[in-house]
Amino acid sequence: MTEHHDRLPYDAVDISSLTFWASSQEERDLRFAELRRRDPVSWQRPVDSAIATPEIPGFWAVTTNELIREVSTHPELFCSGEGTQLEEIPDDFRTAAESFLGMDGEEHHADDLASMFVSMSFAGNDTTRTTISLGTKTFLDHPDQLAYLMADFDGRIDAAVEEVLRWVTPIMTFRRTATRDTVLGGKQIRAGDWVVMYYASGNRDDNAFDNPWTFDITRRPNGHVAFGGGGPRFCLGSFLAKMMLRHMFGELFHRVPALTLGTPDLLVGNFACAVKRLPVSTTCPVAR
Ligand code: HEM
For domain 3-282, the CATH superfamily is Cytochrome P450 (1.10.630.10)
Torsion of CA 93, 234, 264, 276, to 10 degrees: -20
**d(C-alpha 232, C-alpha 39), whole Å:** 27
Please compute the mean of the pLDDT values over residues 50-71 and round it to a whole number. 89
Q: How many Cα atoms sit within 13 Å of 49 on the Cβ side?
A: 16
Cβ of 72 below 6 Å from ligand 1: yes
Please compute the mean of the pLDDT values over residues 42-47 and round it to a whole number. 94
**d(C-alpha 244, C-alpha 119), whole Å:** 18
Pocket perturbation via mutation, ligand 1, pick of 119, 121, 131, 227 by most ligand atoms within 8 A of CB = 227
pLDDT at 191: 97
Q: Which backbone phi and psi does 97 adopt, to 5 degrees? A: -75, -30
Tell me the residue type at 207.
N
For ligand 1, atom 11: residue with the closest CA: 235
Cβ of 272 below 6 Å from ligand 1: no
pLDDT tens digits, one per residue of 215-248:
999 999 999 999 999 999 999 999 999 999 999 9
β-strand pairing of 173-178 with 194-198: antiparallel
Q: Is the pTM of this model over 0.75?
A: yes
Per-domain residue ranges for the chain?
3-282
Helix, coil or strand: residue 153: helix
Cβ of 134 below 6 Å from ligand 1: no
pLDDT tens digits, one per residue of 9-20:
999 999 999 999
